[in-house]
Each structure stands twice: as C-alpha cells, then as structure tokens.
Amino acid sequence: MKVAILGASGHGKVVADIAEQCGYQVSFFDDGFPALNKLEHWAIEGDTADLVKLKDNFDCAFVAIGNNFIRAKKQAVLAKVGLISASLIHPSAIVSRYAEIAHGCVVFPGAIVNSFAKIGAGCIINSNSVVEHDCNLEEFCHISPSVALGGGTRIGSKSWIGIGSVTKQLIEIGESVVIGAGSTVVSNVPDYVIAYGTPTKIIKAVDF
C-alpha cells in the first residue's frame, strides 16, 4: 500500500514513521518543493499540484500539517480529486473497539482513545494523550502531547488543546479555540478564543 504524505515537517516525520509501522510505503509532498527536496532520508517528490497529478500512483494520502486550518483546506483539495485520506494509528496506541475514528486522523505513540469516544475527520491525537470515554471531537482538532480529556469532553472543529493540558469531565470547548499549554479547563470555553491557565481564563477573542 502506498501513501502520499503532504507536509514534510517534524510532524510529517512522525506521521511517516507511523505510516511505515502500519505497513505503508511512504512518499512525501510539500509546497516548499523544489527548494525543499528532502526530509531526513525521505525524498520530497513534489508539491500539492504534483500530488494531484500523480494521484493514481497512490492508494491513499495523508495531510501531515499541524495547523488545523491549513490541514482542513489541504484535505479538502485532496478529497476533491478522489484521494482517500488514511487514518493512521501507531501500534502502541490503545484504541477501544467502541471508539470511532474518522478518516484522515493520526493517533500517535502511547495515546489512549477510550470507549465510545468519537473523533471527527482530520484530528491529531498526539503522543501520550488520553481521550477518555464518550469524548466527542469535531473535525480537524489537535490534541497535543500528554493532554488528558476527561470523560464526555466535547471539542468543536479546528480547536487546538495545548501540550499537557487537562479538561474536567463533561467540559464543552467551542470551535477554533486555542487552549494554551499546561492549562486546566474546569468550565466551558466559547468559540473563537485563546484561553489558558489553571483554572483556564479567556485571554482574547480570535478570528482565524
């Protein structure tokens, strides 16, 4: 099985490693091509337009771009030409048989996705994070390393939960929210804000 990975960054390296461990043969594409033509030992074979032209050479694609908004746009471009987005789960991750993970998601090493959690398309579940039972994540969220989401946490689309943060059970976080690193979220957070701290306070509104 051949996967085209779009996005040759540090995040892309981890995604490639996971894809290989899932049995895929990896090819990289990045919009920095041709100036950017190599990532570690992987050759970069072109940009988004090249990938679209070469789409029939691949079984599936994966957008490995950390920015939630850019990842969503690129995934839409690839979907439009019929490139299927793989979902990649590292062998050391623990995913309940009762969890649902949509296409285009990656689950990093050591992450846990527990029973009846639902994860929308294009989400990143980063290293050692815990998505507890009954959590509901809309599309294109990024759950950073070592985040713990308490049971039943709901997160709106394109929100980014910073490294090491925790949410109390049943918390609702809106769409396009940034929760800063190391935060403790004990009350609901509305759409389009940056919030951080323990307990989390809304710092400012944002319009991405």
Ligand X SMILES: CC(C)(COP(=O)(O)OP(=O)(O)OC[C@H]1O[C@@H](n2cnc3c(N)ncnc32)[C@H](O)[C@@H]1OP(=O)(O)O)[C@@H](O)C(=O)NCCC(=O)NCCS
Catalytically annotated residues: 133
User: Pairing between strand 193-196 and 201-205?
Assistant: antiparallel
| Phi, psi angle pair for 88, to nearest 5° | -115, 125
Residue that is written with structure tokens 């294109």 in the block: 140
DSSP for residue 59: S
Is residue 107 close enough to count as binding ligand X by CB under 6 A? no
Other Cβ atoms less than 10 A from the Cβ of 98: the count is 12
Give the type of residue at 151.
G
Among 85, 144, 153, 157, binds ligand X (CB under 6 A): 144
Using rule CB under 6 A, residue 194 touches ligand X: yes
Using CB under 6 A as the binding rule, whether residue 52 contacts ligand X is answered as no
Tokens 């109390």 -> residue: 168
Nearest distance, CB of residue 204 and ligand X, angstroms: 8
**How many CB atoms within 10 Å of residue 176?**
18
Q: Closest distance between ligand X and the C-beta of residue 165, in Å?
A: 8
**178 near ligand X, judged by CB under 6 A:** yes
Q: Is there binding between residue 109 and ligand X (CB under 6 A)?
A: no
Return the range that interacts with ligand X (CB under 6 A); candidates 71-79, 92-100, 104-112, 193-201: 193-201
Note the residues at the interface with ligand X (CB under 6 A): 126, 144-145, 162-163, 178, 180-183, 194, 196-197
